Homo-oligomer: A and B are copies of this chain.
């Protein structure tokens, strides 16, 4: 099923379904665990298929683009920091169009998160919530 989706994604973009891309896709969907590119590369090797590191990285980007795979941790080119002392906690909305960052805070949201943690026997210390989408300006611009 996911291979059908990937195939039509590639088709629409004029890209080809190669042995290597199939090998990556297969290995990615062989388990539901989180994984890192290097680890995936080794697993593919062990499984008897083959795809170079370069192809693994390239295919992962395609899989994310197709929506079949997501990055669990959204990394930018480098780490991003902010000073927090003297400022209350807040979360972020980031516009995919223009990069605008909206900071927001919701008492209700914090309370709900704590409640969910409690339900899992978990004590939350910190959290980051990042919502990606489109801001008002960019919505209108379309």
Question: Does A123 reach chain B (CB closer than 8 Å)?
Answer: yes
Output the nearest chain B residue to A126 by Cβ-Cβ distance: B132
User: Mind listing 25 A-B residue pairs with CB under 8 Å?
Assistant: A2-B83, A34-B80, A35-B80, A36-B80, A68-B84, A69-B84, A70-B83, A70-B84, A70-B126, A71-B79, A71-B81, A73-B76, A74-B128, A93-B120, A102-B120, A106-B116, A112-B112, A117-B133, A121-B135, A121-B136, A122-B136, A123-B134, A126-B131, A127-B129, A127-B131
* Interface size classification for chain A: 35 or more
Q: Considering the chains assembled together, what is the distance between the CA atoms of A71 and B109 in angstroms?
A: 21
| Contact across chains for A131 and B122 when beta carbons are under 8 A apart | yes
Main DSSP-derived SS at the A contact region: mixed
